[in-house]
Chain A
């Protein structure tokens, strides 16, 4: 079975703190994605990566950055967390040219 693991299920941070969310997949997928899930807004794409050290902005990249130093690992970074970044963050991965995405269980971030 494909496994996408998000290291932290629940985090509580303070405004201005730096936040790291890590995601690891075990299927040698080329593509990895970070989405944000909010009620009524569905899943919105923050950043994605087609290959190691490659990254592209999604629809809502402001306030976020990413890092992909190894093929299996994709990290989402909030340089200075703000309360409007309180949300559920979902990591996903997939093979290049294949349209199915495999999701992790999510990281619920609360910024106070």
Chain B
């Protein structure tokens, strides 16, 4: 049973378009929600993160939107570039237990 559900599994977007990845969680004890980016042949690396007391966080072309009541959060990649082609993982952290739970991942392909 996945505690963090991520969709879609894959996404193709044209250069300059918007990529949107959605995640939903069940456990209200999660208190930190990061997104990791993984390029082929590399390990995941932290991209951006949000706490549940904030509804939106933006860093450059990457924005997290967070809906606490719906227990959902999403990553928006604005003006998508071919260099953004990667697999993206949402995750949720629970302080009690000190561990991250990851979603299933979304493979994003940005076509030039």
Contact = CB atoms under 8 A, between A and B. Distances in A.
Interface string B100-112: 1111110000000
Contacts of A31: 98
A64 to B, nearest CB: 16
Contacts, number: 55
Interface stretch (B14-22, B39-47, B65-73, B78-86): B39-47
By size class, the interface of chain B is: 20 to 34
Interface stretch (A11-19, A43-51, A72-80): A43-51
Interface string A61-92: 00000000000000000000000000000101
Contact of A99 (B2, B41, B89, B93): B93
Contacts of A99: 32, 34, 49, 93, 100
A99 B89 CA distance: 15
A3 to B, nearest CB: 11
Contacts of B74: none
B105 A40 contact: yes
A102 to B, nearest CB: 8
